[in-house]
Amino acid sequence: MSKSTNNTRKVIAIDQFGGIEKMKVQTLSMPEILSDEILVRVESAGVGVWDPLEREGFFVEITKQKPSFPYILGSDGAGTIVAVGKDVSKFKEGDHVYGFSSFDGRTGFYSEYAVVKADAASLLPPGLSLETAGAMPVDGMTALRGLDDTLHLKSGETVMIFGAGGGIGHLAVQLAKRMGARVFAVASGADGVAFAKQLGADVVVDGRKDDVVAAARAFAPDGLDAALLTAGGEAAEKALTAVKKGGRVAYPHGVELKGTVPSDIKVTDYDGWPDQQAIDKLNRLIQSGQFEVHVAHAYPLEQAAEAHKALNTHYLGKLALRVRRGRG
């Protein structure tokens, strides 16, 4: 592999799992890459609703991996390849890529340089910039896995996207439309409603104040074919009464349903793990028209803790970190 002009990198890491106070700016040595890995100079990193779960050790628990400390946070990002492992043939130095972390503490994207498994990375699809692409991978894959692999959404079907103004939701609206579905979107606030309409949803309601069930029944008098829940809670569970008998509902792990769900619909939770086939399909859908990855705010790397606090506020789309520091 080629060597960087500097042998250290700035990262946001934790020395043990826990709260925001565990996040610290650290200076670590440049990583060595294995034969099946690439080294990426990170331009942007996503700050997702899942990242606090990673910080607290949730992903290590479900993947049964032994974590590496200091544990570098950051589940996804984008940047420029500066080195490739000897067995990597599909990428070269200088390629612009997005990628996924392995949730092992070694491959996090809250870092000026990140190690990425070659099979967990992709060339940037035309139309996506490095600045916004870093905020897309996990949320885009989670949206696709829900719509495609879990709901098996077909052209002409009706689907409810609950949480349509959020990171997963705003991408799911666009993907569902490209899959030929009619989209009933539930967003929060007037800004969320306007945003989901702008993204192409057929009907949008405000989950905070509108009668979601009545609007859904007007949209699909025989009941909705499917629903993707990117948020849980009482309002989401009530909305499921608009799904037709035999309909399908999907929600990613981390979303909680605590109440009573109608017994005549199929409800499935799922993971948004990437594989090459799903990455290729995601890229094809992204390239089929104008595609927006909306970054509400991009924080400097050093303010990652502030970004985690902001996850609990109202914003549209996704939060991100600006990582690149203008050095080789």
- What is the SS3 string spanning 168-205? HHHHHHHHHHHCCCEEEEEECHHHHHHHHHHCCCCEEE
For 84-116, write each residue's pLDDT tens digit: 999 999 999 999 999 999 999 999 999 999 999
Domains in the chain with CATH codes: 8-136+293-322 (3.90.180.10), 140-270 (3.40.50.720)
3-class secondary structure, 272: coil
Measure the CA dihedral 44/48/54/60, to 10°: -90
**Mean per-residue pLDDT over the chain, rounded:** 95
Per-residue pLDDT reduced to its tens digit, 189-239: 999 999 999 999 999 999 999 999 999 999 999 999 999 999 998 999 999
* pTM for this predicted structure: 0.95
pLDDT class for 259, splitting at 50, 70, 90?
Answer: confident
pLDDT one-digit tens code per residue, 5-50 = 479 999 999 999 999 999 999 999 999 999 999 999 999 999 999 9
pLDDT for the residue numbered 132: 95
CB 300 within 8 A of CB 321: yes
Structure tokens at 312: 């609990």
Dump pLDDT digits (tens) for 137-187: 999 999 999 999 999 999 999 999 999 999 999 999 999 999 999 999 999
- Compute the radius of gyration of the chain from its Cα atoms: 20
